[in-house]
Structures are given as structure tokens and as C-alpha cells.
Structure 1
């Protein structure tokens, strides 16, 4: 489906039933990365899989930044009258989700932030150099974006009131100091490390963290209603 947002057409798919859940993909990807995970989650959520602008089947525009994509998400939520949805964001999607909540507090209920970085300086040196070389060869706006943005401060992160789950891979592309900074800024957040995986291998058409996500999103219900959690375990 297509929806007119901020002067462009955003492509999205709506599946499932239950509490609203938005899913945002990473750089140079599309909503297709979530197909396997979404097939399981749709039993418990009404899922909105979105192709970010300049990705997938959404329109392409000259204007392109994480803040613009955050505005897209906020307007998407408003246009569809989604009340305090949950969100899953991977990599760029996690950045967009975070900036949305910083700019527009109380947009989200719970946020699962997978493979996020707060700044290009958080990227491991060898990975940053690879990205820089690739940018010179391909001349892509998407790659250039990663070299210049985001610029999220620890103070901005600490002001987020939504419940947050931070997920990283054991062999991720970011410096460990960044995660320590996040832990100090977000004392009530939950953290999960996926062993044996790289930046995208646990999420790209995978459902490896399916149960972890359910436990996070339904934590209160699990404590109040054990039978509901037993159903999730099936």
C-alpha cells in the first residue's frame, strides 16, 4: 500500500492483529528483511512494515536525512491514528525511531532498537574506512548518510521515557564504548547481545530474536498472566 507523507508516497504493508507495531529496516534495505519475523509477530500485533523514503517501493527524494525520515514516521503514526505504537528498528531504522522519539516525545510505547549507533564515530575504524571507500566508488546518498549522521547525544537519549531494548550482535560494527555510554544514559533500558552473529545476520530474514521481542513487548502481561506467556512459548 502507499500513503502520502511529507510530499512523497511511502510504501507499507499491514498485517496481523493486536497492538500496533511499526517495523523499520536498515540502510539500503527494504521491509522485506522482516518477512520471517513478521510472520510470527503478526499473531500478537497489527504490524506496519514501512519502506523508508529512498528505499524499496517508496518514493525517492532529494531531501534525505535521519531527521526527515523521523518526520515521515511521526506523520505516518498521525495519519493512521496509531495510538502510542511499539516500534522495532534495525540499524538506520533504530536511529530513525530514536530521533522520532527525541523530537516527538511519547510517540512510542516500547522501542526495540537493533544495531543502533549514536554517531559515525561509533563505527569501528576499519568499518568506517570501508564505508568511506564505498561512498567514493558508488556516490550513494544512503552511504554518505552513514558517514555524517546521526549525532545523538547521551543527554537526548537519557530523556526518552519510552521503554527501550537495545540489541547488538557479538560481532557488530560498533565500538564497545558506545554501549557503555548508552547503559549509563538509559539505566532502565534492557540490553541483549546475540552471540555468534554480525551486524545484520540475526535480523536479515531471520526470526532469531522473536521470543526476546515478545518477552520485552509483553513483559507486564507476562507477569500478570502466565498463561498468555505460555502461549507465546509454543
Structure 2
């Protein structure tokens, strides 16, 4: 699948993968900062952003999408960073293609299985009747019945766009994402591992990476290190950008 992407800066290549319900735009602020040092590729994963839709959504095909992107763009030995779902895509790719990347950064996700916890968000998004929708404000009001946090709603509603006839439509492939939500929560298979340098960055206020996950992390990535950022939740790069960038640049500057 030919993925949509945005390219910034010059230097050593760095690929960034967004999380569930996200897009490359979510990482533009961080991408611009990193573009002072790296050639940054911000990718829309399948069924997200401006990339194509597909009935298949799992980490095997998303890792294959990433491999195709690297080969098509002739990118040599990139650093790869992935957040949440993007982190699992990056991990899947890394263990399957250990010779196709340099260093790996995984943001607030572990290589374990997670229970389904997006049911309310999915119900909220489905509650928005696109055929009768008049404005984004109306969409926000409908979504607020399910998602009280304004910041989360603003993030989710970035997926709302208009087609050529000016009708509202979703950028995300909502039906497929809903059908694949259990698959999105799956962990990596135990038989896969890589000894490349890997950095896990977690938010101390998030429950995606816990102390007991360190054993699982080391099983897959023996040379992994884990850094936790105090006062940050799941959206570390947005909540604590300066601390986040300092850790990322410190890790990537080791080579």
C-alpha cells in the first residue's frame, strides 16, 4: 500500500508513526523540531489520515506497509519512532526486519496485549450522523455525550473532513477500525525478538507501560531502555514536548 506522508528537514532519516485515530499531522510540531537534525518522514498509516483505506488492519500488514514505504522511497537505515498503535507497528517491523533500521523509539506502549478500551470513543464517533451534520460544532456537541474531555474530542474530530461535494466524511476507516479493535490491542508474538538499541518512553501518569512490563520488553528487546516522564499521560509528546525531545535527541545522538 502506498502510504501518504509528509517530509521535513535534511539529514539522517527518521520515520514517525502515529497512533490509533491519529495522523501525521499530530506529530508536525515535534517533527519540525526534529527536522533541525534529521530528515523526518511523518507517515499516515493505513485507514488513517490521507492514506488509502483497506478491509485489513493488523500489525503484519502495517509492518509490511512500512517496509514497502522504506523500499519505495529508498530510505537507508532509518531511525523509527512510533506512538501507541504506531509503536506496535514499529516493533512488528523491527523484529521482522532487524537489518532495515538503525535505532527504535517506542512511545507509551509495550509489546503486550491490551484489553479493548476504546468502545466509548467508537460509540461516540458512530453517533455523529454525517448525512445530517451541519457544522463541526454540532459534531463536537454529539461527541461530548460520550467523550467529556475537550482535548480528546478535538483530537478525534481532526478526522472529520469534507468530500468534493462539501459533505462531511471521516478520514479514518471507522467500520474497519471498529471491526479490528481487538486485533489492534494484540501483543507481539513471543518468538520474535531483536537486539538492536530500543528506547521506550512512557508517561508516568499513563498506565500503558508499567514496571512489570519491563520483563516483557527485555524479552523482545534485550538492549532496551525505559524512560518515564513525570506529569505526562499517553500523549507525552504533546504534554511534555521539551522533556520528550531531550530524551529522544539524547538517545539518537549516541550513534
Fold match, TM over 0.5? yes
Give the Å deviation of 1:185.
Answer: 4.7
Whether contact under 8 Å (2:110, 2:209) holds in the other structure is: no
Report the equivalent of 1:39: 32
Report the equivalent of 1:103: 96
Tell me: CA distance 1:144–1:134, structure 2 relative to 1, closer, same or farther (3 Å).
Answer: farther
Tell me: CA distance 1:151–1:184, structure 2 relative to 1, closer, same or farther (3 Å).
Answer: closer
- 1:210 equivalent to 2:245? Answer yes
Whether contact under 8 Å (2:77, 2:100) holds in the other structure is: yes
Tell me: CA distance 1:132–1:147, structure 2 relative to 1, closer, same or farther (3 Å).
Answer: farther
- For the aligned residue pairs, the C-alpha RMSD in angstroms reads 2.2
1:191-221: CA deviation from partner (whole Å, max 9, x where unpaired): 1101111111x2248633111111101113x
Tell me: CA distance 1:76–1:185, structure 2 relative to 1, closer, same or farther (3 Å).
Answer: closer
Tell me: CA distance 1:195–1:145, structure 2 relative to 1, closer, same or farther (3 Å).
Answer: farther
Tell me which structure has the larger Cα radius of gyration.
Answer: 2
Could you say what secondary structure the match of 2:63 adopts?
helix
Moved more, 167-176 or 209-218: 167-176
Report the equivalent of 2:225: 190
* Counterparts of 2:105 and 2:16, CA distance in 1: 10
- 1:178 equivalent to 2:206? Answer no
Report the equivalent of 2:74: 81
Tell me: CA distance 1:205–1:58, structure 2 relative to 1, closer, same or farther (3 Å).
Answer: farther
Report the equivalent of 1:147: 182
What TM-score do you get using the length of structure 1 for normalisation?
0.78
Give the Å deviation of 1:189.
Answer: 1.4
Report the equivalent of 1:169: 203
Q: If each structure's strand is expressed as a fraction of its own residues, which one has the higher value?
A: 1
Report the equivalent of 1:60: 53
Tell me: CA distance 1:160–1:50, structure 2 relative to 1, closer, same or farther (3 Å).
Answer: same
Give the Å deviation of 1:171.
Answer: 1.8
What TM-score do you get using the length of structure 2 for normalisation?
0.72
